[in-house]
Amino acid sequence: MTLNSRVLLAAGPYKFAGTLELETAPIAVAWLVKQFPLKGSVQHASWSGEAAWLPLGSDAPQLAPENATAHPRPGQILLYAGMMSQAELLLPYGACAFASKAGTLAGSPVIALDGPLENLGALGSLLIAKGAQPLTLNWLHEERQ
């Protein structure tokens, strides 16, 4: 199966293009794209520093980590689908140490957002000031076949 690699993440009033991490986390990416268009409510991450998170609900499978990290860089979106905490997407916008009340978590990198990423910080500020915002993750239409 050949997957397109370009995606569009819309969160609040902001839009970000990105590339799927097909080689880094192929199983996690394959699960994620089956959810497209993924819609939900993104909120500020309480435990992880400068990051937002999208809960994925109880239907998400438990997946083994692939090249997992607990310290993602801004714009490196992680999928966590393990046993210590609920399944989620983590969207770091600054200094981030992925964690939950259960302790340090590590997620599989599934999307690398393109730069410039200044609006990621603005999204974080919006989440802190105004609360949860709608999020949609889908294919970037220009490259969809």
β-strands 49-55, 6-11 pairing: unpaired
Domains of the chain with CATH codes: 6-143 (2.40.100.20)
pLDDT tens per residue, range 2-23? 457 999 999 999 999 999 999 9
HSE-CB for 42 with a 13 A CA cutoff? 29
pLDDT surpasses 80 at 36:
yes
pLDDT tens per residue, range 121-136? 999 999 999 999 999 9
- Distance separating alpha carbons of residues 82 and 69, to the nearest angstrom: 13
3-state secondary structure of 114: coil
Q: What predicted TM-score, i.e. pTM, was given to this entire model?
A: 0.93
